[in-house]
Structure 1
Amino acid sequence: MTFDPGTPAPDVVADDHALSAWLAEVAGRRLLEVREEGLTGKELKNAGDQAAHELLMELLAQYRPDDAVLSEEGKDDKARLDAAKVWIVDPLDGTREFSEPPRDDWAVHVAVWQDGDLVAGAVAQPELGETFNTGTPPVVPARTSTRPRIAVSRSRPPAFVEALAAELDAELVPMGSAGVKMMSVVRDVADAYVHAGGQYEWDSAAPVAVARSAGLFTSRVDGSELRYNQDDVYLPDVIVCRPELSEQILAFVAAHGTEA
């Protein structure tokens, strides 16, 4: 059966914030459908990556034909470097978790870069029925934990984060997708996400855009600005945290580095 994404309202098409949220939500619905097709393991991973990528490329070609696109699953067309606007997408962030139903810690990322910076973005967590977006910036709840909580990879947490946790007397909270980890700070499931190594622009663009809109602190681990639509899309490190934790985290990294 052919998937029908529906037609967005004219006001959604006219606004990058609203369109990014709609695109992420629609791709998420497509992925939920793929999850019900009876595939497992690598076949499910590949089917999810392909289905979400193809749908997003089709819809962006329809609704933003003049904009460039950078997708994890697509060829990197360097023409984007001369474009005024670039959509940076990760059609399925957390492919491993997606392939392990009923896990819900996977996401769809859709971000918009324009004239040098992120200007819009959305992160859909389909199994939660949530799409966090810059059009309606999330309100971060008051912190409910007495100890800081740091979101980390459930499979390969950076070693230095354990030392950081000891320094802050923090609890480590394992979970999947990078976007899910960053949204966990938005949701008061964690208070910080600190990562170094093995990420690219599409891993963090949309979550960083949403986190910024919610008033959270974002930077690279050395405190420098996160830059997108670069010639080299490798962007290995990121901090997303409640503002009150940023100085302690940056001071620890400055003193100890990320090789511990």
Structure 2
Amino acid sequence: MPAAEDLTLLIQAAKAAGDIALKYSGPTAQRWDKPDGQGPVTEADLAVNAMLEAMLPRARPDYGWLSEESEDNEARLGKDRVFIIDPIDGTRSFAEGSATWAHSLAVAERGVVTAAVIYLPQRDLLYSASKGGGAFCNGTPISVTSPGALSAAKILTAKPNLDTQHWLGGTPPVFHRSYRPSLAYRLARVADGGYSAMLTLRRSWEWDIAAGDLLLREAGGLISDRLNKPLLFNNRVPLLDGVVAATPQTHLELFQALDPIGPGIAG
């Protein structure tokens, strides 16, 4: 199936997801804590996931399925193409009544993302990309920001990533730090030129990253794990070893400063 046709399907699905999620009020939606400290889930997450799990596999019955809110199984590993879905990325933000949560939808083919959508319905922002087709926000082409000195760069990252144990010489580089709760939204803001980079050194779930991976690459940026290895998706254990996504120059400068044997962390 051509990536452009998959993208059309993902855009339709993301808009339908937004229609469902907006029927709920985050602060009053039923909420449960997942086992093993995996964070919260709300009735809105489950409702969106149920719709997507009915809609997308019906449209592409030969694709595998990986979603944060679906029980995983190994059937997806034998598929050339797989949906990688986060029904609501930034559930804590949603539950608190913030608008910085997103639907993150992607298709990966043999480990490489080929179609992707990140949709923030409360902000009326729909980011989209297909392999070789460019990156867009609300239909307008986007690209990463022009190179600049790392000291002037605006980087989205959590405070624990600045711990001295992660940086050569025990000193993190100087830059302007900001934070957004949704990893997908952080990646989108780098892709649209709003920030120079996003950085997370913890192990990260594929469904948080997959859509932003393609969006960032199609916008002219670079993305890798914390050891500067390419990201591949639909792994048996769907976890990535951190994420560094940036303009090419900022990506280079961050890896000149990162300690390659530093531990991964939460953040």
TM over 0.5: yes
Q: Is the 8 A contact 1:71 1:90 kept in 2?
A: yes
Asked if the contact 2:162/2:172 (under 8 Å) is kept, the reply is no
1:137 equivalenced with 2:135 (yes/no):
yes
Q: Which deviates more from structure 2 when the two are superposed, residues 220-229 or residues 15-24?
A: 15-24
Q: Equivalents in 2 of 1:81, 1:141: separation in Å? A: 33
Distance across 1 between alignment mates of 2:109 and 2:93: 31
CA distance in 1, matches of 2:260, 2:154: 21
Partner SS for 2:45: helix
Give me the whole-angstrom Cα distance separating, in 2, the residues matched to 1:132 and 1:99.
Answer: 23
Q: Tell me which residue corresponds to 2:206.
A: 201
CA distance in 2, matches of 1:177, 1:108: 10
Partners in 1 of 2:264 and 2:50 — Cα distance?
38
1:29 aligns with 2:19: yes
Q: Does the 8 A contact of 2:31 with 2:41 survive in 1?
A: yes
Residue identity (%): 24
> Which aligned segments of 4 or more residues in structure 1 are displaced greater than 4 angstroms?
141-146, 161-164
Cα deviation per residue 1:114-166 (whole Å; 9 max; x = unaligned)? 1331111111111111111114513126459982011124xx643438986x7
Instruction: Note if 1:246 corresponds to 2:251.
Output: yes
Aligned partner letter, 2:233: Y
> How many aligned positions are there?
244
CA offsets, 1:175-218, max 9 Å, x none? 11111111121233321111111421111011111111111110
Q: Structure 1 residues 120 and 13 mapped into 2: Cα distance closer, same or farther (>3 Å)? A: closer
Q: 2:86 aligns with which of 90, 97, 100?
A: 90
In the alignment, structure 1 segments of 5+ residues that lack a partner are: 1-11
Counterpart in the other structure of 2:35: none
Q: Is contact 2:128-2:135 (8 Å) kept?
A: yes
- TM-score, normalised on structure 1? 0.83
Q: Which has the higher strand share?
A: 2
Deviation string, structure 1 residues 201-240 (Cα, Å, up to 9, x no partner): 1110111111111111100111101111111112140011
The amino acid that maps onto 1:23 is A
Determine the structure 1 residue equivalent to 2:121.
Answer: 126
3-state SS in 2 of match to 1:33: coil
When normalised by structure 2's length, the TM-score is 0.81
Q: Distance in 1 between matches of 2:11 and 2:114?
A: 13
Aligned AA for 2:252? E
Kindly indicate whether residue 154 of structure 2 is the aligned counterpart of residue 158 of structure 1: no
Match of 1:17 in 2: 7
The correspondence for 1:42, drawn from 21, 28, 31, is 31
